[in-house]
């Protein structure tokens, strides 16, 4: 359901809301306040949409923030839902997607890593996984970071000796790899372990990940004693190493919640108008790591309890909630949030603020981490502000830059050329704004032409999407890794586009590429150097090095993709499943290319039409005798 106010002068934002009230339903749902451009100013949920929106017409009772929101409102959109719990889930989804200016927004673009054990292979693999889940695998998590899941995989390899190699590597092994030598794999690839014994290791690993550690440890201890009594000392030593690994994973120096099972610990700390929330993920009683979240405030006047409620709804928008969530602050609508999370999870979810014992200690530990993380961020922000002031003074900018873009190229003798853009601002590197450009038109060994192409694509698109420069996606300063030549190439493109008011600086390496002796080139000014120990120099070097790192990463990824590209990829209508069948049947792309039509038709899962298409791709113009006298 959509209700839109008529076009009106700014002071009539209140009239837009009043005009919409008679048509608003009394049902639960979500409402959106929109500005003149149609962007969301605020997203809210309500048990009764009409009653909730009516409260915005009582301007004298509103805070200054909400008065400003009403003032800017030009239209109103509402969506009805079956219950207030459903409205809460929809509200959280829309806030994360639309990022309204007057809401508290959880700005977190990272996906959560999971641990996966494949079930569709005789010898299952243990690996890290991001993205969509698929059938034929068991998933455990989430983990707070890639480091946390990698640590867990390493521990599981030591204890359960599961393979981590890809199926293609597994199938091609003729002798054990290094992981077998360092006792982190049982080498099923060369049958150093039977299927039944390996399946038992997989079962134990799954039991461990589900919280069954004590029973596994007792079983291993009994097997070790039995092996020692039989004088099987080598087997007993291997079991001893596994027990040691299991003990290390359970070490008391780690923050674990053995009596809880699956739970998240969420603690919040506020200071200087900012909020940090620390989330610790516990699964099977083990700590899967923690992650800090720094909230973007549209509501400076909100209590910690209200912020906690808003945060929880957004946190679990794309994350399955555990059965128990331990909190440092109880949200005012805890019952409704628990109902919404239970609806999402398909089982009961409990929100609890512990008052004593192990659970309270875990919450206090998380709160300490939240406070320390926020203090570090505030301290870094102060230092960052001083550095940006120095950058403004050095390059003659009217104000400290809010957005700095840094450009670099990477290639090897013209192969797999990439240009990249990294972005930094007052809060540090803005990795969600990074961009990479696969060079298409320019020769890969012509750095000037590559730079021209990157700038044409970056700023040409910016002019098309935001010609009035009304968003913060335009840079206040552009840094280019290169000297006067690269700077001139970029300036020529900007002049052609009619963009001549963006300050641009070329950062040229010193003699012998000596860091600390860089020259900074600007149009109409003599090149300058900074003293070797100048903090601003270190900051600019860090920006340049980050662009260089990102450029090399983009180039390596492109090169790896090119190396793994198969000639089967170019066959129209042949997807991943068909390619897998062809490679499994013929052994290689070369075998597919050399196969006759009859051989292709004999491949399982390949019909006559697909076989003919594949044959014609590799043998264009070839005539094939009709079969069974037809044609």
Residue 630 lies in a domain: no
Same domain? 594 vs 506: no
Mean pLDDT on 325-350: 95
Same domain? 29 vs 87: yes
Q: Which two tokens stand for residue 216?
A: 């596994």
**H/E stretch holding 612:** helix 608-618
Same domain? 186 vs 126: yes
CATH number, domain at 435? 3.30.420.340
Residue 60 lies in a domain: yes
pLDDT value of position 145: 85
Residue 289 lies in a domain: yes
Residue 560 lies in a domain: no
Of residues 86, 20, 29, the one with CA closest to residue 54: 20
Q: 430-445 b/e with 16+ CB inside 10 Å = b?
A: eeebbbbbebeebebe
Same domain? 152 vs 201: yes
Same domain? 76 vs 125: no
Same domain? 524 vs 411: yes
Same domain? 124 vs 168: yes
Of residues 430, 421, 476, the one with CA closest to residue 450: 421
Same domain? 53 vs 155: no
Query: Helix (H, G, I), strand (E, B), or coil: what is residue 512?
Result: helix
For residue 398, the tally of other CB atoms under 10 A from its CB is 8
For residue 363, pLDDT over 90 is answered with yes
Residue 193 lies in a domain: yes
Total-model pTM? 0.66
**H/E stretch holding 560:** helix 535-564
Highest mean pLDDT among 366-370, 523-527, 627-631: 366-370
Residue 578 lies in a domain: yes
Cα 352 from Cα 121, distance rounded (Å): 41
Same domain? 528 vs 418: yes
pLDDT in tens, 87-102: 999 999 999 889 898 8
CB 17 within 8 Å of CB 73: yes
Same domain? 288 vs 344: yes
Residue 109 lies in a domain: no
DSSP conformation class of 177: -
Of residues 48, 105, 35, the one with CA closest to residue 77: 35
Among 205, 227, 249, give the residue marking a domain's end: 249
Cα 317 from Cα 560, distance rounded (Å): 34
Same domain? 126 vs 243: yes
pLDDT in tens, 428-449: 888 889 998 888 766 656 778 8
Of residues 503, 506, 504, the one with CA closest to residue 519: 506
Chain mean pLDDT for the chain: 84
Of residues 143, 353, 148, the one with CA closest to residue 267: 353
pLDDT value of position 165: 92
Same domain? 209 vs 328: no
CATH number, domain at 581? 1.10.150.20
pLDDT in tens, 459-508: 998 898 888 777 778 999 999 988 888 899 899 999 999 888 899 999 98
The band of 221, judged by pLDDT with boundaries at 50, 70 and 90, is: confident
HEC string for 25-69: CCCCEEEEEECCCCCEEEEEEECCHHHHHHHHHCHHHCCHHHHHH
Mean pLDDT on 241-249: 64
Among 249, 273, 304, give the residue marking a domain's end: 249
Cα 269 from Cα 153, distance rounded (Å): 32
Ramachandran category for residue 197: left, alpha or beta (phi over 0 → left; psi -120 to 50 → alpha): alpha
State which residues form the domain around 88.
2-98
Among 98, 126, 150, give the residue marking a domain's end: 98
CATH number, domain at 28? 3.40.1440.10
pLDDT value of position 5: 42
Residue 254 lies in a domain: no
Number of domains in the chain: 5
Cα 403 from Cα 422, distance rounded (Å): 10
**β-strands 137-140, 114-118: how paired?**
antiparallel
């Amino acid at each position: 359901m959509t209700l839109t106010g008529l076009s009106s002068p700014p002071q009539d934002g209140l009239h837009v809301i009043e005009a919409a009230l008679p048509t608003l339903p009394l049902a639960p749902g979500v409402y959106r306040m929109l500005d003149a451009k149609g962007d969301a100013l605020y997203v809210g949920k309500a048990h009764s949409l009409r009653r909730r929106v009516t409260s915005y017409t009582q301007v004298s009772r509103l805070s200054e923030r909400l008065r400003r929101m009403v003032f800017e409102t030009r239209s109103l959109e509402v969506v009805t839902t079956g219950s207030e719990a459903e409205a809460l889930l929809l509200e959280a989804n829309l806030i994360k997607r639309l990022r309204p200016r007057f809401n508290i927004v959880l700005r977190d673009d990272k996906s959560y890593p999971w641990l996966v054990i494949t079930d569709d292979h005789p010898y299952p693999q243990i690996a890290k996984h991001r993205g969509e889940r698929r059938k034929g695998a068991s998933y455990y998590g989430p983990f707070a970071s890639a480091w946390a899941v990698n640590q867990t995989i390493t521990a599981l390899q030591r204890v359960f000796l599961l393979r981590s190699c890809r199926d293609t590597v597994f199938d091609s092994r003729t002798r054990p790899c290094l992981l077998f030598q360092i006792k982190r794999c049982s080498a099923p690839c060369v049958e150093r372990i039977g299927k039944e014994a390996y399946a038992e290791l997989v079962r134990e690993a799954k039991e461990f990940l589900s919280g069954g550690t004590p029973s596994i440890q007792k079983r291993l201890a009994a097997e070790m004693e039995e092996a020692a009594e039989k004088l099987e000392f080598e087997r007993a030593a291997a079991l001893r190493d596994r027990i040691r690994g299991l003990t290390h994973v359970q070490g008391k120096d780690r923050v674990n919640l053995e009596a809880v099972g699956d739970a998240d610990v969420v603690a919040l700390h506020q200071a200087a108008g900012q909020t940090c929330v620390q989330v610790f993920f516990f699964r099977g009683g083990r700590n899967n790591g923690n992650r800090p979240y720094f909230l973007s405030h549209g509501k400076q006047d909100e209590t910690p309890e209200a912020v906690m409620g808003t945060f929880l709804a957004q946190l679990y928008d794309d994350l399955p909630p555990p059965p128990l969530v331990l909190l440092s602050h109880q949200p005012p609508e805890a019952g409704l949030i628990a109902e919404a999370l239970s609806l999402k999870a398909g089982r009961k979810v409990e929100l609890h603020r512990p008052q004593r014992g192990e659970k309270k200690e875990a919450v206090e530990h998380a709160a300490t981490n939240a406070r320390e993380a926020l203090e570090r961020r505030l301290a870094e922000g102060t230092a960052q502000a001083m550095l940006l002031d120095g950058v403004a003074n050095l390059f003659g900018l009217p104000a400290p830059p809010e957005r700095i873009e840094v450009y670099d190229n990477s290639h090897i003798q013209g192969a797999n050329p990439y240009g990249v853009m990294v972005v930094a601002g007052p809060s540090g590197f803005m990795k969600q704004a990074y961009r990479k450009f696969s060079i298409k038109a320019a020769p890969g060994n012509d750095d000037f032409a590559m730079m021209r192409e990157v700038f044409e694509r970056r700023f040409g698109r910016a002019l098309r999407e935001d010609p009035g420069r009304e968003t913060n996606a335009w840079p206040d300063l552009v840094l280019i890794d290169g000297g006067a030549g690269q700077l001139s190439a970029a300036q020529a493109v900007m002049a052609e586009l009619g963009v001549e008011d963006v300050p641009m600086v070329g950062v040229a390496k010193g003699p012998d590429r000596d860091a600390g002796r860089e020259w900074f080139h600007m149009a109409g000014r003599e090149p300058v150097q900074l003293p070797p120990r100048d903090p601003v120099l270190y900051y600019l070097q860090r920006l340049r090095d980050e662009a260089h790192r990102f450029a090399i990463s983009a180039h390596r990824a492109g090169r790896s993709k090119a190396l793994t590209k198969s000639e089967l990829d170019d066959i129209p209508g042949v997807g991943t499943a068909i390619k897998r069948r062809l490679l499994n049947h013929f052994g290689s792309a070369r075998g597919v290319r050399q196969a006759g039509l009859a051989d292709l038709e004999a491949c399982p899962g390949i019909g006559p039409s697909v076989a003919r298409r594949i044959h014609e791709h590799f043998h264009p113009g070839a005539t094939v005798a009709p079969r069974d006298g037809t044609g």
